[in-house]
Structure 1
Amino acid sequence: MAHLSALKWGTGTRTFEMFLEPTCPFSVKSLRKIQPLLEKVGEENLTVHIRLQSQPWHMFSGVIVRAILAASTLEQGRGKAHYVLLAVADHREEFEFTDHCSGPNMNTTPAEILARLETYSGVALAEAFTLEDVTKAVKWHAKYSRQNGIHVSPTFMVDGLIDPAFSSGDSVDEWAGRLFP
């Protein structure tokens, strides 16, 4: 049976949940702030969770979310999932449609997307991609988002409450100041 590693960094009692869609440019900005934020406030003070928020206007979103969760089942799963997230972030145009509906990816298959993810991340995903536990995890992420009233990415929750004051355009210092006033 596969074990999914939590997409969690830090050990603090304050909890910051980031609902991200991997191909969303605003989610990418947010993703890149996790490590600097933890360095700023201290890993012992903050726990950051990535919650994957698949969105239908990002056409390969479901495939990519599933691949990230598949990576989390592998040895050193959290790190492998992070590699896949960064591979998408670093090569967004390879995983997204132009204007959400056109462009070179129109003839791309899910198998080709998975192969690109493996190439860019260096993580072998194909076998884990088919696991039933990954299906359960995809459903859990979707259900958790819906139960919390989250429909778009990025959305941020602090200690279990949505906080609309956070934006992907904010600096790490602004985030730190909101989390620890």
Structure 2
Amino acid sequence: MALAPKFAGQIFAESRQPKAVHSLELYLDYVCPFSKKQFTTVYQSVLPLVRNKYAGKLQVVFRQQIQPWHPSSTLTHEAGIAVLKLAPNKFWEFSNALFEKQTEFFDVNVVNEARNDTYKRLGKIAAGVGIDENKFYELLEISDQPGEGGALNIGNGVTNDLKLLVKYNRLVGIHVTPTVLFNGAVEGSISSGFSKEDWEQWLAKNVV
């Protein structure tokens, strides 16, 4: 599936090379433990391999997949969108930093926290990778005052982009995280437990 230019930060591809031949899409949720397991291996081991061996042959896309049974999933993915708006080149680095602190946003750790306070904690993570914390929070903050015409569901600075991402994912019917698509089709052989060696073997077989 195509990716709107505003979400280009979700793509890892060697910019010095022409358009990638193959596409590997990772549908991940920031508060899913299995997503963290897959992302960590991909970030630490697969992306360097793509850069060094498969430049110009493969692009990797991080697809943000909200899992709504964890309310904080929406908030963390809003944070990802804020990064895409402010510093798209920092998206993967921010995602890595957020996954490292994943448990801080699990249900038990947010249940008694106000929504804007969760955004502020996410802002600290963003600041840690060089993103302006104030601008980040401005995009996410929810006002406690009614909007135009007395509107009460006013959203924030990333709501419209969040709706687009949800629509994209619904079109392909993704449910489980992580889910991997290779050239637009679900690749069921790739699991969250894939090791560096598993990825090396799979890439050597499929990216030609």
Q: Taking structure 2 as the reference length, what is the TM-score of the superposition? A: 0.74
Within 2, Cα distance between the matches of 1:135 and 1:113? 16
Of the three residues 156, 159, 162, the one matched with 2:186 is 162
Is the Cα–Cα contact under 8 Å of residues 110 and 118 in structure 2 kept in the other structure?
no
2:163 and 2:201 mapped to 1: Cα distance? 33
Q: CA deviation at 1:4?
A: 4.5
Contact 1:87/1:120, CA 8 A, preserved across alignment: yes
C-alpha distance in structure 2 between counterparts of 1:83 and 1:178, whole Å: 25
Where does residue 11 of structure 2 map in the other structure?
8
Residue in structure 1 matched with residue 88 of structure 2 by the alignment: 77
From 56, 59, 62, the counterpart of 1:47: 59
8 Å contact 2:24–2:59 — kept in the other structure?
yes
Superimposed CA distance per residue, residues 24-64 of structure 1 (whole angstroms, 9 cap, x where no aligned partner): 11111122223421322435132000000000122201111
**Equivalent in 23, 38, 46 of residue 37 of structure 1:** 46
List runs of 5+ in structure 2 lacking aligned partners. Answer: 1-5, 15-19, 141-155
CA distance in structure 2 between the aligned counterparts of 1:148 and 1:51, rounded to whole angstroms: 12
Q: Secondary structure of 1:60's partner? A: helix
Give the number of the structure whose residues are more often helix, by fraction.
2
Write the letter of the residue equivalent to 1:10: A
| Cα distance in structure 1, aligned partners of 2:123 and 2:112 | 19
Structure 1 residue 154: deviation in Å? 0.4
In the TM superposition, 1:126-145 aligns within 5 A as 126-129=137-140, 130-131=156-157, 134-145=158-169
Q: Cα distance 1:104–1:70, how it changes in 2: closer, same or farther (>3 A)?
A: closer
Unaligned runs of 5+ in 1: 98-102
The 8 Å contact of residues 97 and 125 in structure 2, kept in 1 or not, is answered as yes
> 1:56 aligned to 2:64?
no
Measure, in 1, the Cα distance between the counterparts of 2:179 and 2:73.
Answer: 16
Partner AA of 1:16 in structure 2: L
Q: How far apart are residue 128 of structure 1 and its match?
A: 2.7
Q: Which residue of 2 aligns with 1:86?
A: 96
Alignment partners' CA distance in 2, 1:59 and 1:164: 27
- 1-side partners of 2:47 and 2:109: how far apart? 37
Match of residue 151 from structure 1: 175
**Aligned Cα root-mean-square deviation (Å):** 1.8
Percent of aligned pairs with the same residue?
28
Deviation at 1:114, TM superposition (A): 0.8
Match of 2:110, SS state, is helix
Q: Matched residues in 2 for 1:172 and 1:136: separation? A: 37
